Chains A and B, each alone.
Chain A
Amino acid sequence: MSTPHPAGEWRPGAKSGETWAPEIDPHMRAKHVAKRGLLYSVATFFAVFAALPFAWMVFTIFKTNQDLYNSKNNPFLYNDPPTLDNVRLLFRDTKYPTFLWNTLIVSIGVVIITVVIAVPAAYALTRLVGGWGEGLGIAIFMVYLIPPTLLFIPMTRTVAELGLKNSKWSMVLVYPTFTIPFCVWLMLGFFKSIPWDIEEQAMIDGYSRLGAIWKAVIPLSLPGILTVIVFSTALTLHEFVYALAFVTSSDQKTISIGVTTELVRGDVFFWQSLMAAAAIVAIPVALLYTLFLDKFVAGFTLGAVKG
């Protein structure tokens, strides 16, 4: 780890010359050790609390049935050698590949709709509509907070009337209702950080305003658009309630409902395969999300603090 230490801070094992180590008063030193100890214990507590179910999930994936279900075995060891059979079962004998495929299609659809609608809207709010752009932006962001649990009952009817009942396209249609508000807000921040001069200059050079947007603004806001793509995908993968209300046939299900409703059947749980099904999606999503989290936080704090 290369966490920078401010010069002058005492640290164990510091090579002479690497940092300036002052004369150490034993009392100060004890206090320092106690402080570091407390810091590490608290950090460990939170890490263990957060990771516990995931650790157990990943650990379970590779267990054989005889090992897992034998109550005489120590549950924290691999009493049989670890196996990939459970993952194979998941891909061969369940609809898991279909769920993955549906999730991919829905995500792509949601991302396209979100980018096409949210990016121009955010641009208009920062550049073209004048003083009330900010207020309208906040109003749009508020829509993100309206939960699916409030709207899923009438939404089921809306979806049925559009002929999308029990189809994955219902999710493509409805998910932008929360990705658009969130991403408009996100892009608002990005566009604000791009100086006006750039478009102005492009227009001076003879481009129309649309031309200037296309040639000058869009290339500069690609990081913002990438963030929009990441969060539209993440929010799509996180959604559960609409999916549960709209889709009942297993061919159309996405991961979050497919795994929870199709792979859990009555009393017969294929726990290892179920855990694999969850982990295969959860861990990459978590990684991606963590990478972009600062942007997410900046959005949530209304840009008041930079993440």
Chain B
Amino acid sequence: MNAVTTTPPRIPWTNDEPPAQGRYLRDNTRVLGPVLLLPAIVYIVALVGIPFALAIAYAFSDASVGDQSLNWVGLRNFRAIWGDATFQMALRNTIYFTFVSQAVVIVFASVLAIVLDSDFHGKRLVRFLVLLPWTTPIALAVIAWLWTLDSVYSPLDAILRYVGLLGPGTYFGPGKSMLWLAKPDLARLSILMIHVWRTTPLAAVIVLAGLAGIPKELNEAAAIDGASEARQIFLVRIPLLLPILAVAVLYGVVFTFTDMAVVYILTRGGPMDTTQVLSSWAFFKGVEGTNLAQGAAIALFLFPILVAAAIVMLRFAKRTETV
């Protein structure tokens, strides 16, 4: 790039002084800026903004797959879904999966980040493996779990049988398999575990990035002051990490709360709709059940969590700007 390396005589042209009006139109930042930005804005408004408005309109209408015209029906859809036992189950499940899984993720992610922050043999392999749940397309990862939790051929069952915890006359017996996905409680536990499995890596790498940002001198200072390693971790590093941990969990909350793939592929909401979540129930009602209006109304229940997430993000963003 000759343009960069040669040094022609300076001409008086600085940032504060925009190009003179006489220059080419394409030099005018007041035109060029909006022109470059516009396609992105138009795309987002047209394909996110309008559908979002439409989602709200649907929720207050009687639209169905057969007749998509929007007739105002007020709160009728919300009353109908609220009175539905499956909806209440879905709402409870969604909250349960999200908050319990993320509570576990806070602990797992912190521990995993501290592990990945230390030096040990095979670290790159461990890093690749622990990231797999996050880096694999979700649908394909859940397929692997579907097979791992199979009612007959689950390797987990095989191990439990081998150590004498499963089978006639044993702790989990007398059946020969756990039927992970066929019993409501176990199915919920399986889904919970998959959410933990899938969101831990993301939270861990975000926390890891935060750890890297803590000046080494702080640890050294603490060590000189006689703090043990455990005290350094809990009294120096973790408090400094809290903001970044909050961000890590925020993504976990958003992804878990709004996820549909895990439930849809693993249990299809079953057995008997006991593992439905808001998003899967919206899909079954709105797309497979052809009641677009109620589906849209159910999906709208996902919105408050996103608003909360947005507020947390904005606060975090403001903080990083002032630092």
Contacts and interface: CB of A to CB of B under 8 A. Distances in A.
A1 B124 contact: yes
Given A147-B302, A177-B43, A204 B244 contact: no
Contact of A153 (B40, B58, B144): B58
B44 A181 contact: yes
A307 B209 contact: yes
A180 B40 contact: yes
B8 A205 contact: yes
A121 B206 contact: no
Given A208-B26, A255-B137, A1 B144 contact: no
Nearest to B300: A150
Interface string A108-142: 00000000111011011101110000100010101
A67 to B, nearest CB: 11
Contact of B136 (A43, A128, A285): A285
Contacts of A156: 287
B269 interface: no
A154 B58 contact: yes
Given A120-B39, A151-B55, A46 B115 contact: yes
Contacts of B286: 153
A307 B210 CA distance: 8
A247 to B, nearest CB: 12
Contacts of A50: 129-133, 197, 200-201
A100 interface: no
Given A49-B197, A305-B209, A256 B139 contact: yes
A290 B135 contact: yes
B279 interface: yes
Majority DSSP secondary structure for residues of A touching B: helix
B320 A209 contact: no
A201 B167 CA distance: 77
A136 to B, nearest CB: 8
B52 A146 contact: yes
A152 B40 CA distance: 20
Given A56-B147, A204-B11, A154 B136 contact: no
B21 interface: no
B136 A240 contact: no
B33 to A, nearest CB: 3
A83 interface: no
Interface stretch (A21-29, A90-98, A221-229, A293-301): A293-301
A306 B313 CA distance: 17
Contacts of B125: 47
Nearest to B319: A304
B135 A285 contact: yes
B105 interface: no
Contacts of A234: 135
Contact of A47 (B130, B306, B314): B130
Nearest to B156: A52
A241 B260 contact: yes
A128 B37 CA distance: 10
Interface string A204-220: 11011110000110010
B242 to A, nearest CB: 13
Majority DSSP secondary structure for residues of B touching A: helix
Nearest to A278: B140
Given A204-B8, A256-B140, A306-B213, A184 B40 contact: yes
Interface string B282-319: 11001100001001100110110010011001101101
Nearest to B108: A46
B123 interface: yes
B85 interface: no
A201 B11 CA distance: 10
A54 B155 contact: no
Nearest to B194: A53
A145 B132 contact: no
A105 interface: no
A138 B145 CA distance: 36
Contacts of A205: 3, 6, 8
Given A153-B296, A180-B40, A56 B148 contact: yes
Contacts of B138: 238, 240, 256
Contact of A40 (B120, B134, B306): B120
Nearest to A205: B3
Contact of B302 (A54, A150, A180, A285): A150
A60 B135 contact: no
A82 B72 CA distance: 62
B8 A3 contact: no
Highest count of chain B CB atoms <10 Å: which of A174, A176, A180: A180
A14 interface: no
A94 to B, nearest CB: 14
A10 interface: no
B75 interface: no
Interface in B268-289: 278-279, 282-283, 286-287
20 contacts: A39-B115, A42-B111, A42-B115, A43-B115, A50-B132, A50-B197, A56-B147, A142-B310, A150-B258, A152-B299, A154-B52, A154-B54, A173-B47, A200-B13, A205-B6, A237-B137, A240-B260, A279-B140, A283-B136, A286-B131
Given A51-B129, A286-B131, 5 more contacts: A150-B306, A154-B57, A203-B13, A293-B205, A301-B210
User: Which 10 A-B pairs give the minimum distances between C-beta atoms?
Assistant: A128-B33, A147-B258, A154-B54, A121-B40, A149-B279, A289-B135, A53-B144, A120-B36, A124-B36, A304-B320
